[in-house]
Structure 1
Amino acid sequence: MAEILVVVDMQNDFVSGVLGTQEAFDIVPQVVGRVVDGLNRGETVLFTRDTHEADYLSTQEGKHLPVPHCIRGSEGWEIIPQLQEYAAHPIDKPTFGSQYLGSLLRARDEDLRRQGQPGVEKVTFIGVCTDICVISNALLAKAFLPEAEIVVDAACCAGVTPESHRTALRAMKACQIAVEHEGETD
């Protein structure tokens, strides 16, 4: 069974830096455990990395969130130390959702089907922020792979606030994205 685990934006700025939250800090052990478990089970593990340039404040996002973060090359841009060994080639994304990730998922699905295999059957998302980048990428995956099971592991996600995390989980459920371990985050 072809399964992919996507670790969204587990970067210093979102965990302990300028946009860090206690909730993001608290999920680190679960995220590390889920990555190790996924690798041991043969899942393909992909990492995304929020990536902005020095002109961030002049961008559309910077005008709405005037907090410079994840500036390419900065310490805050780096994947957290606990996950660096697993994130050799993160997918840099300049906005919430990654079109490249969607294309990569579709290409993997097509490659498997050409080989006579069922294709990508399941894509699981973990990371931060549930209500911004996790939801954006999960919905993109659903659009690129409409027949794959798209899952969000709530126990390995954190939102900007606990309430916005729960709201995002409800929105994803409405879009036929499975939510696992939801009660473990409250």
Structure 2
Amino acid sequence: MKKLLAVIDMQKDFIDGALGTPEAQAIVPGVLEKIRQYHKAGDDIVFTMDTHTPDYRNTQEGRKLPVPHCIKGSVGFELSEELLPYASVVFEKPTFGSVTLAEYAAGGEYEQIELIGLCTDICVISNALLLKAYLPESRITVDSKCCAGVTPESHQNALEAMKMCQIEIR
């Protein structure tokens, strides 16, 4: 079975920076272990990176979430160091979901696509739904133990919403 692991926005600002949370920090070891499993099996791994410019506060997102984060070139933009050796395919994205990721996955004939990362309730759910729209017959899964939301409650709400859209939650 051809499998793809999509590691969503495991960047410093979401882990322990501007928008970091204890829950995000807690998933890093599990995310690393999951990546190592896929790597050892020879499966494909891709990363997304939330990518903003210095004029972030002038964007719609910046006006609704006025916390500058993941500004390209800043320390907070960087992936967590432990994950860097595995980040050979990276998609920068200026918004929550990555059409480029969905197009890449659609071209790869994957039977299963698993998502892990941050934040469950924003970027993970956005990418999971895009992938499901692009690949309605592919098995899309989310490992809930390798994701964290803005809050524990919004994490659970996002998992429930994805279940309703036929995304398998582990």
User: Shorter-chain-normalised TM-score: which range?
Assistant: over 0.9
Aligned length: 170
Greater Cα radius of gyration, structure 1 or 2: 1
Could you give the per-residue CA deviations for residues 112-150 of structure 1, whole angstroms, max 9, x where no partner exists? xxxxxxxx1000000000000000000000011110000
Select 1:148's aligned residue among 138, 153, 156.
138
Structure 2: runs of 5+ lacking an equivalent: none
Residue 50 of structure 2 corresponds to 50
User: How far has the Cα of 1:43 moved from its partner?
Assistant: 1.4
AA in 2 matched with 1:31: V
Residue 128 of structure 1 corresponds to 118
Residue 100 of structure 1 corresponds to 100
What is the TM-score of this pair, normalised by structure 2?
Answer: 0.99
Cα distance in 2 for partners of 1:132, 1:144 equals 19
Helix, strand or coil at the partner of 1:54: coil
Written as runs of structure 1 = structure 2, the 5 A alignment for 1:106-185 is 106-109=106-109, 120-180=110-170
Structure 1: runs of 5+ lacking an equivalent: 110-119, 181-186
Residue 117 of structure 1 corresponds to none
Cα distance in 2 for partners of 1:95, 1:2 equals 28
User: How far has the Cα of 1:88 moved from its partner?
Assistant: 2.8
Helix, strand or coil at the partner of 1:69: coil
Percent sequence identity over matched residues?
Answer: 54
User: How far has the Cα of 1:85 moved from its partner?
Assistant: 1.1
Residue 112 of structure 1 corresponds to none
AA in 1 matched with 2:67: V
User: How far has the Cα of 1:89 moved from its partner?
Assistant: 3.5
Structural RMSD (CA): 0.6
What is the TM-score of this pair, normalised by structure 1?
Answer: 0.90
User: How far has the Cα of 1:90 moved from its partner?
Assistant: 1.4
Helix, strand or coil at the partner of 2:10: coil
Could you give the per-residue CA deviations for residues 6-55 of structure 1, whole angstroms, max 9, x where no partner exists? 00000000001010000000000000000000111121000000000111
AA in 2 matched with 1:164: S
